[in-house]
Chains A and B, each alone.
Chain A
Amino acid sequence: MAQQQRTPPRWAERIITWLLKEELAEEVLGDLEEKYYQTGEAKSWSRARRNYWYQVIHYLRPFAINIFRSNNSIQLIMLKNYIKIALRNARKNAAYSGLNIFGLTLGFSACMLIFLWVHHESSVDRFHDNGENIYRVMRHMHQSNGTAITMAYAPQPLQDVLMSEYPEVENLAALSWNLDLLFERGEVIGNEFGFYASEGFFDIFSFELLAGTEAVLADPTKIVITDKLARKYFDVIEDDFSDVIGQTILVDEEEPFMVGGVVRAPGHLSSLQFDWLLPQKGLIDANSWMRSWDSGSIRTYVELAPGTQPAVAQRIEQEINDHVEEDIDERLTLQPLGDQYLHSQFENGVISGGRITYVRILSAAAIFLFIVVCLNAMNLITAQSTKRTLEVGIRKVLGEAKSSVRFQFLVESLLFSLTATLLALACTWLLLPYFSTLIDTSMNISDLGLEVWMYTLLLVLMAGTLMGLYPALLLPAIKIIYALKGTATRSLSAGSYRKILIVFQFSISIIIVFAAMIISDQVQFVLNKDIGIEKENLILVEMEGELAGKYDTYRNELLQIPEVSSVTSTSGNPIRYGRSTGSALWAGKDPGNNTDIGIMLVNDDFIETVGIKLLQGRTLSGSYGADTSNYLINEEAAKIMGFENPLNQRLSVWGTEGNIVGIIKNFHTHDLYEPIGPMIINYYPKRTEVALIKMNETNSDAIAKIEALTTTLSPKYPFEFEFLDQSYAESYRNEVVVGQIIKLFAIISVIVSCIGLFTLTTYSTFLRTKEIGIRKVYGAGTNQIILMLSKEYSVLILISIVLALPVTIIYAQDWLEQFQYRIDLSAFNLALGAIVGMAIGLITVGVKSYQAATANPMKSLRNE
């Protein structure tokens, strides 16, 4: 344990000191501190902190706290009076108060939901006890062309080197790639998800073992399953898993494993997901190729002694280069465990983003929205409070100090923000289930720690102070004599600050509207982009178990189904393809060139089924005889190889030499964040793993027929398939979701801004009621009056748009940069957004102006 000073949470201590009765302070603080150190030493310090907060909250009982510090003091009486006056005022202007609170509630709810989401996202992977010392080893494969490919999979021998040569490594866990294995016990059969893990797994990660021992992963005959699987395959009575230990389960149709441990399912706060864990030793023994430094199949996590990270990071960097004889450049870095979820995207060996991009965009949107909402409320409160100069005047005459008047207006705005926050909390609570389905996380209000409530309190105070700031500064300063004479109102309302606020607020709203438009345009663009594959009506079925050996039968039977037009098989899903090699050889290849080239193994009819365009030459087919040593390459590969005419050039992959017989058009094998890479296609039916089925039309009938056929051939495996167009869209879920949320935000901020504009117009027309009446009497037309009233605000809206445009353009360009394939910011789009913003603003102002302009002048002039 680091020799660092551990102290109880400062804020909790302050709160309890402040609230506690004085005579109890010593003993209670003493007890709490002692408890803190006990928990910290016995369990963990983060737990001790949490417990401290828990204890503090539980001390807030009537016997211990000091509510009436100064009962019946003058301040308390005045406070009661302020609240009473505030409530009366709110009731008197019910429409205005209602609108204000409505706007605030809307904005706060949206901000709270986003805050909860951000909180959720940033707590992923933070539950491990020594999380701050756990790192994931990342491998950056530098290519000859200057780019680098980053992956978490490193050679297996690395783990032995780290264990034996690095004294700083306290624990190490090595995980295999994720895989689905067939589990079978009696009647129950299913494909289950998990990975192989080394012995150190439970030492490093804090997954909770419900039964069994932590040493279980050292024994190659044992398996660890989650409570979920235990319930599925075994009879579990209540929460007692001890009976499951020692029972066997059949894995992958051959090996019976004995259950050695039951672990609680990782849950949504873990980015490592699994339903089972098998000992890594068995996997390596069965796959000797993994022992090579040339392979990359293991995810390595290390727990380092505190403070040793920089030293280890420096030493580990060249570890692969030092062990591999070939001339390659691969570097290893350490990524903190807490970052792996949000910062998952690397570009040329450097973190370039990941989910964090969306966390940032939405946080920014939420902060902006919060500001818009507060400014709006501030504007409204100020406008209303200028009507109360008389009240302020009388208060001052009766001897109230400036500071008390200031306090009064702060209390009023705090009441507004408190009411709105309470309503927003209720809304958040109601909306949370829908929201978490929308964004595909399982957030739960009960997961929320104390911090969240602390932040909520902070929100009330911040918003309240912000909103009340201007009236609190403005009103105490008015001169009593003008206030009592009734002329102070005019001088106050002429202030230009409200115009500035309107401009600011509208600019932000317009920026959010632009953001919504641009993000949804880009998402549409991505989803509709021609990726070089005809992904519509294309189904993928994994060929597992018995199906693997029966491809020919499967294909022939499939082609009997009228809806099926063609069938092929490949070594992987073409829209998410990862297999590559750096060892392809061709005539004239620069020996220093180690560029990774994708390699896909395919069966007959590949080009036809997947719908890739053949540019030159012919396709691959079994009917040509020796096609196993012939290759198709894509345009990108042709460019890298640099042949003038690539057709019939010799190419050797994995030691098999053959001819390039055709060139195909580039197609995307990754998402659009990445450029299209070079690709070699080889005819090798034996090593294909997934069947691709192209249909004329998709209907449930055809799917049912395919299912029936598949399960007849491979009765044990559950039938699983995916539509390529759907899984393509699925891979952009983040973008789609963010697009939707931003749209919602745009709508809310426009509504709030319009509420503000509407009330302000109402207010300024109210001030000019008499003027309008007189103008009408002297013959002004409705049009002229509308023009006169809307002119002021129209100019402001125009300024807002002008200000919002450059900001939008800069940030939008920045966001779009990360996509290799993206929309252009079109002037048309921006203009459209501007016009929409302008129109909404003008309509809002216009409605009220029209009302004022058509009112009977008699009414406004009569009451003199």
Chain B
Amino acid sequence: MIETRLGEFEEVILLLVGILGEDAYALNIANEFESQTNRAVSIGAVHSTLTRLAEKGFLDSAMGAATAERGGRRKRIFRTTATGEKALKTSREFKLSLWKQYPAFSNLSFTVN
């Protein structure tokens, strides 16, 4: 069994960080998660996962710009690291290989844009 080191929620968060690019800070990631999955999530839960991912070396972060609606406070912008992207790829390949071994799905083709 290949160890992907990524939970389902972690994987989604990691992907969202990549998607959001320069706008990837905790609140925005939580909002994006809610709108894409229709599941409620608290900012705290997302933040906790972001911290864990950073500890694993999949993310790094830096303080970004401040805006007025945040009471002039800066936000922490997260970025995926090379290790993070590698982990995502490994995870996807592992899953694809599982899908291919599933007889009913094995002849489906997967297109990725």
Contacts and interface: CB of A to CB of B under 8 A. Distances in A.
Interface of A: 26-35, 37-38, 54-55, 57-61, 63-64
Given A28-B47, A64-B51, 8 more contacts: A27-B73, A27-B75, A28-B43, A30-B71, A30-B73, A30-B74, A55-B42, A58-B42
A55 B51 CA distance: 17
Contacts of B31: 38
16 contacts: A26-B73, A26-B74, A28-B43, A29-B70, A29-B73, A30-B66, A30-B74, A31-B47, A31-B70, A34-B67, A35-B43, A59-B42, A59-B43, A59-B44, A61-B45, A64-B47
Contacts of B75: 27, 30-31
Interface in B28-55: 31, 42-45, 47-48, 51-52
4 closest pairs, A vs B, by CB?
A30-B73, A58-B42, A30-B70, A58-B44
Contacts of A35: 27, 43
A38 B69 CA distance: 9
B14 interface: no
A33 B73 contact: yes
Nearest to B73: A30
A29 B72 CA distance: 10
A31 B25 contact: yes
Contacts of B48: 61, 63-64
B43 A27 contact: no
A27 B65 CA distance: 11
A29 B66 CA distance: 12
Contact of A33 (B25, B26, B47, B71): B71
A35 B47 CA distance: 14
A191 to B, nearest CB: 40
Contacts of A58: 42-45
A28 B67 CA distance: 14
B62 to A, nearest CB: 11
A55 B44 contact: yes
A31 B51 CA distance: 15
B69 A31 contact: no
B44 A64 contact: yes
Nearest to A13: B71
Given A61-B48, A63-B51, A64-B48, A31 B71 contact: no
A786 B54 CA distance: 76
Contact of A27 (B25, B42, B44): B25
A127 to B, nearest CB: 20
A61 B66 CA distance: 25
Nearest to A51: B42
Contacts of A54: 42
Interface-centre pick from A30, A54, A63 (highest chain B CB count, 10 A): A30
Contacts, number: 68
Contacts of A34: 27, 67, 69-70
Contacts of A60: 44
Q: Interface majority SS on A: helix, strand, loop or mixed?
A: helix
A233 to B, nearest CB: 31
A61 B46 CA distance: 11
Interface string B60-91: 00010011011101111000000000000000
A38 B31 CA distance: 10
Contacts of B70: 29-31, 33-34
Given A60-B44, A61-B48, A64-B48, A29 B76 contact: no
Nearest to A24: B47
B76 A27 contact: yes
Contacts of B51: 63-64
B69 A27 contact: no
A33 B69 CA distance: 7
Q: Give the one of B45, B66, B76 with max A CB within 10 A.
A: B76
Contacts of A63: 47-48, 51-52
Contacts of B73: 26-27, 29-30, 33
Nearest to B72: A30
Contacts of A26: 63, 73-74
Nearest to B74: A26
- Pick from B25, B31, B43, B51 the residue with the most CB of A within 10 Å: B43
Nearest to A29: B73
Contacts of B66: 30
Contacts of B26: 27-28, 31
Contacts of B71: 29-30, 33
A10 to B, nearest CB: 13
Question: Which among B51, B71, B76 has the greatest number of chain A C-beta atoms within 10 A?
Answer: B71
A38 B35 CA distance: 14
Interface centre among B44, B70, B76 (most CB of A within 10 A): B44
A59 to B, nearest CB: 4
A37 B43 contact: no
A315 to B, nearest CB: 40
Nearest to A32: B43
Nearest to A25: B73
A34 B66 CA distance: 11
B73 to A, nearest CB: 3
Residue in B63, B70, B75 with the greatest tally of chain A CB atoms within 10 Å: B70
A31 B71 CA distance: 10
Nearest to B42: A58
Nearest to A56: B44
B53 to A, nearest CB: 11
Contacts of B76: 27
A182 B75 CA distance: 61
Contacts of A31: 25-27, 43, 47, 70, 75
B60 to A, nearest CB: 15
A7 to B, nearest CB: 9
Nearest to B41: A58
A61 B70 CA distance: 22
B91 to A, nearest CB: 23
Contacts of A38: 31
Given A27-B26, A31-B27, A61 B44 contact: yes
A720 B38 CA distance: 47
Q: Counting chain B CB atoms within 10 Å of each CB, which of A27, A29, A35 scores highest?
A: A27
A27 B45 contact: no
Contacts of A27: 25-26, 63, 73-76
A55 B30 CA distance: 11
Contacts of A32: 27, 43
A795 to B, nearest CB: 60
A61 B48 CA distance: 7
Most buried by B among A32, A37, A57: A32
Contacts of B44: 55, 57-61, 64
A27 B26 CA distance: 9
Nearest to B29: A31
Highest count of chain B CB atoms <10 Å: which of A31, A38, A61: A31
B44 to A, nearest CB: 4
A715 B73 CA distance: 72
